[in-house]
Amino acid sequence: MKKRNTQKQSLIKLSTIKKLHKWLSLLVFIQLFIWLGTGLFFNLMDHDKARGNQNKKAITFQKIEHKRLVNLELIMSKSSKPVTEIALIQRLGKPYYLLTHEEGLYSHFKSDYSLVDAYRGEKLIIDDGVASKLAQASYKGKGDVSAVVKVKPPITDMLKERNIAWQVNFSDALNTSVYIDASSGRLIGHSNDDKRFVDLFFMLHFMDYPFLGQGSVGGFNNGQITFFALLTLAFCLTGFIWVIELLRKGRYKFS
């Protein structure tokens, strides 16, 4: 049996590792700096401002006069669609029955609801006027409503939302937008320029670009980030092996 060369026995030669590290650095350096820079931003940013809730206030509830509640048969007769759940809720200080026709696993998943006035039995349609009032009830800022727009997903401010919503814009210093679910009247959330600024950094960190692949989805399961993540993994691994090699050869000396 021939005596084997120990260098060749190791899986990849060290010189190959070093060459790989150098060339990979050229491929990943821009994204690596974006990751480190945006990572630093997430570390230092004001986490309260990042939520976009500076002008949000808790919605106040009124006592329900239960003797005035209309009975279920009347409510059911108002619905042509199948109902899986009925909740007694409040909108603008008045009680409503919220009929669930379709409900996703989470509130931002595809759903379908309708509302019936719990005292009078009339259907409530969330139109621009109602949406505007609902938005104002959750708003404590000093701005006035400047526009009410119906928006379909994808919604830039609320990328995860999969339901049609009313966007109620306020003329304040932060350009606050309030989102109301068009079928249930539920408050989806607030957004403003501070949150939009933070969202920009998330887009960069997640490589969640609107002009690539399926567009921005508010997540990090996309082709481009997978590609760069694997290259960066190889880059860091080769660098790590290099450091171990330098340590092994006693090249870390104070001099």
Distance of CA 242 to the CA centre of its chain: 39
Q: Please provide the distance, in angstroms rounded to a whole number, between the alpha carbons at the two ends of the chain.
A: 46
72 binds other proteins per the rule CB under 8 A: yes
Sheet strand arrangement including 145-151:
145-151, 165-170, 177-181, 187-191
Of 30 and 173, nearer to other proteins (C-beta) is 30
Cβ 138 to other proteins shortest distance, Å: 18
Residues in a beta bridge with 124 = 115
| Site track 94-133 with other proteins (rule: CB under 8 A), x = hit | ------x-xxxx------------x---------------
Tell me the window of 19-27, 129-137, 138-146, 172-180 that interacts with other proteins (CB under 8 A).
19-27
Kindly list the distances between the CA atom of residue 84 and the CA atoms of 30, 87, 100, 212, in Å, as whole numbers in the listed order.
51, 10, 6, 38
Nearest alpha-carbon partner for 135 in 159, 105, 171:
171
Contacting residues toward other proteins, per CB under 8 A: 14-15, 22-23, 25-26, 29, 32-33, 35-37, 39-40, 42-45, 47, 61, 64, 66-67, 69, 71-73, 76, 82-89, 100, 102-105, 118, 219-222, 225-226, 229-230, 232-233, 235-237, 239-240, 243, 246-247, 249, 251-252
